Structure 1
Amino acid sequence: MLRGERAGGTPLAVRVDVTDPTRPVVTVGGDLDFQTSGVLQDELARLVAGEPSLVTVDVAGLRFIDSTGLAVIVHGWRVGHEAGTTLELRGTPPFLAAILEVTGVGDLLARPPGRPGAAWGAAEGAWESTG
């Protein structure tokens, strides 16, 4: 188990299950914020580097998230997207679901992973070839 500490908050706990290395599951609990988010960012980067088809992040135990924590999720999605890996959130608590909806990050996470030579066509809402 990996932990990040935050004064006055709930420590971040991150557990990684690689029983199926093509579909690892990261379980996150506690507070995901400026002081603790590096732990999750490092784990997501390490997992995506192995190019799994899917990385599931179970956030059911998350008690708090700030903008830095949200940025780590977006960054994990972007790096995975570029590598062809889907980043999926599971067990999203109501407070996080509301944040994802208001910020548009929920829609971002729903996009399919990238393919070499492809780019998201925002106007068309579909994939288009770039070369």
Structure 2
Amino acid sequence: MTVVPHWRKPEAAPLTLSVDLAEPRAPVIRVGGDLTFTTAAPLREEVDRRLAEHPQVLVFDFAGLHFIDSTGLSMIVHAWREGQRCGSTVRLRSTPRFLDSILALTGIARLITRPLPDATSAADRRLHPPTASA
């Protein structure tokens, strides 16, 4: 057990990001290290960049994640919300046990698996625009 004096906080492990574009319709963002208030900005930029391309699915691979705080959790919700707006599905894979527990306790796990009420219709409109009738 490591005891850290209250005046000295442990430093966060640096965030590592990589993007696999082998399948353009389903890019994979690999997230490692600590996803916290001080490290989340690059992930938000990457999420927004990928969702601007309107992929069918945006996948997060959390196999290398060591820690997540409320800002990190809000990034997952942000990705889901923005994905719903542009017709993209967000999927999580290789989630560590601690993240599974947090997602379940906060209700985010249920949120990620359910679409917004009008998200499907927005995606359908983008893929199948209305045709003019005579």
- Within 5 Å, give how 1:105-124 maps onto structure 2: 105-112=108-115, 114-116=119-121
> Which contiguous aligned blocks of 4+ residues in structure 1 show a shift greater than 4 angstroms?
none
Structure 2 Cα separation of the partners of residues 60 and 53 of structure 1: 22
Look up the equivalent residue of 2:40 and give its one-letter code. S
Report the structure number with the largest CA radius of gyration: 2
Tell me if the contact between 2:32 and 2:64 (Cα under 8 Å) persists in the aligned partners: yes
Q: How many residues align?
A: 112
Unaligned regions of 5+ residues in structure 2, if any? Answer: 1-9, 124-134
2:45 aligned residue (22, 42, 49): 42
Structure 2 Cα separation of the partners of residues 79 and 99 of structure 1: 21
1:70 aligned residue (68, 73, 84): 73
TM (norm. structure 2) is: 0.79
Q: Indicate the residue corresponding to 2:131 in structure 1.
A: none
Displacement of 1:116 after TM fit?
A: 3.7
Displacement of 1:117 after TM fit?
A: 5.6
Structure 2 Cα separation of the partners of residues 76 and 112 of structure 1: 13
SS at match of 1:102: helix
Structure 2 Cα separation of the partners of residues 93 and 117 of structure 1: 32
Determine what percentage of the aligned residue pairs are the same residue. 46
- Give 1 or 2: higher helix fraction: 2
SS at match of 1:95: helix
Unaligned regions of 5+ residues in structure 1, if any? Answer: 1-6, 119-131
SS at match of 1:15: strand
Structure 1 Cα separation of the partners of residues 54 and 122 of structure 2: 17
How has the CA–CA distance of structure 1 residues 12 and 117 changed in structure 2, closer, same or farther, with 3 Å as cutoff?
closer
- Give 1 or 2: higher strand fraction: 1
Aligned Cα RMSD in Å?
A: 1.6
TM (norm. structure 1) is: 0.81
